[in-house]
Amino acid sequence: MNIEQLKQEFVNIYGEGEISGFFSPGRVNLIGEHTDYNGGYVFPCALSFGTYCLIRKTNKPVFRFASINVKNREELSLDELTTPLKKGNWANYPLGTIAQFVKQGFDISTGADLMFYGNVPNGAGLSSSASLEIATAVAVNDVYGFGVEKVELVKMGQKAEHEFAGVNCGIMDQFASGMGAADSAIFLNCDTLEYELVPVKLDGVKIVISNTNSPHSLGSGEYNERVAQCQAAVDALKPYTKINQLADISWDEFKKLEDKIEDETVRRRARHVVSEIERTVEAVDALKAGRLEYFGELMNASHDSLRDDYEVTGKELDAMVEEAREIEGVIGSRMTGGGFGGSTVSLVKDEAVDTFIENVGKNYQARTGLKPEFYVAEIGKGGHKVF
């Protein structure tokens, strides 16, 4: 759907008048998985697909929410803006974001009409929800003239997810959606929020996203369980070292102390996180040095650790990765995002991309009965005004 069509849809729903439009992308994470809520490093890129938010400030005391993707619409009065809707309602994401402005004391004394259109495949683990939150944050911040810094908008998006979707997520997805830059990956320290944009100019290589079409759902509780297990690991290590989060311990020190974590599952969860943080740092160095083969090996090791120690892959993601690794010209392949379904990310040599899509597609479908989808990633820029 193009911009003119979106404007027309908006007019069909809300009538003629002034409209502003904003866009915020989904993301793919190259490496550094389940490290963000442990204060570790991540290395995501913003994608060229994401969510549009069209908005018009009104002089009525109501907020109206509509979507091109979903049928149900919501209309809420100003005093209902901080109360979540029923679980599973899509409007919780924009509402939860607006709630953060209200809670922080920004003056929202008149309402607005909002309409969303997303082209991030839902449930693909490519952060459609973060793109919805950040599109809302950027839009409201602009039309109400609040002047909030981008990074603060990112934090508001994360809070919306915690409070209105019940997922205790880290900051990676919202950060990538807000701060992404074309042709760059973001090397982000999730503890300090210091970051570096690293150019991703892959000569002769494409980033291929493979959607398992086995929907991932973070609301399932498995995600929050992992967050709690990481905290349990920190608690178990506290008597032996100075540690507040798993990012505070090096891999070498962890190896010496891991036996102090009595619960075997908790120990494996921590092993994944601490090793993954190390892999992420190494991977960024490898990319900068042009050592793509080593980057690929680290991607593979990341997936294996997420499969064996963190147990967030599942049979569809594993099948997709196994089939990818069979293809000559695949440099590395791993799950991306929260896991439990969703997508994988692979580095594939240009000349192998067609074979990859054909053979991985066929073999994956034969193994799982699910029809996958493939996208060659284009790295886009973070949330911004379109018109």
Would you tell me how many other CB atoms lie within 10 Å of the CB of residue 160? 28
Closest CA to 120 of 2, 55, 27: 27
What's the token pair of residue 177? Answer: 């959606």
* Site for ligand GLA contains 157 (CB under 6 A): no
Q: Which is nearer to ligand GLA, 37 or 187 (CB)?
A: 37
Least spacing, CB of residue 155 vs ligand GLA, in Å: 13
Residue 338 near ligand GLA by CB under 6 A: yes
Q: Are 183 and 304 in contact (CB under 8 A)?
A: no
Smallest separation, CB 337 to ligand GLA (Å): 4
Residues 6+ apart with CB under 8 A from 96: 84, 133, 159, 160, 161, 163, 164, 165
Closest CA to 34 of 178, 235, 170, 193: 170
Contacting ligand GLA (CB under 6 A), which of 36, 113, 309, 316?
A: 36
Nearer to ligand GLA, 173 or 323 (CB): 173
Of 37 and 356, the one with the shorter C-beta distance to ligand GLA is 37
Q: By CB under 6 A, is residue 170 in contact with ligand GLA? A: yes
User: Which of the following is catalytic: 36, 173, 309, 318?
Assistant: 173
Amino acid residing at 231? Q
Inter-residue long-range contacts of 151-157, CB under 8 Å, 24+ positions, other chains counted: 151/175, 151/178, 151/179, 151/193, 153/178, 153/383, 154/178, 154/179, 156/97, 156/100, 156/101, 156/104, 157/97, 157/130, 157/133
Strands in 205-211's sheet, in edge-to-edge order, are 330-336, 343-349, 205-211, 373-376
- Quote the CA–CA distance of 319 and 310 in Å, as a whole number: 17
Among the listed ranges 74-82, 104-112, 167-175, 264-272, the one in contact with ligand GLA (CB under 6 A) is 167-175
Q: Which amino acid is at 309?
A: D
Applying CB under 6 A, among 172, 176, 208, 347 the residue interacting with ligand GLA is 172
Known catalytic membership, residue 107: no
176 touching ligand GLA, by CB under 6 A = no
Q: Is 33 in the site for ligand GLA (CB under 6 A)?
A: yes
Q: How far apart are CA 268 and CA 250, in angstroms?
A: 15
In the bound state with ligand GLA, the residue whose beta carbon lies nearer, of 81 and 126, is 126
> Could you give the CA distance from residue 184 to residue 265 in angstroms, rounded to a whole number?
36
Smallest separation, CB 334 to ligand GLA (Å):
11
Query: Closest distance between ligand GLA and the C-beta of residue 305, in Å?
Result: 12
276 binds ligand GLA (CB under 6 A): no
If the CB atoms of residues 37 and 144 are measured against ligand GLA, the closer one turns out to be 37
Could you say whether residue 337 binds ligand GLA (CB under 6 A)?
Answer: yes
Residue 44 in contact with ligand GLA, rule: CB under 6 A: no
- Pick the closer one to ligand GLA by CB: 72 or 122: 122
Q: Which residues are catalytic?
A: 173
Residues found near ligand GLA in the complex (CB under 6 A): 33-34, 36-37, 169-170, 172-173, 337-338
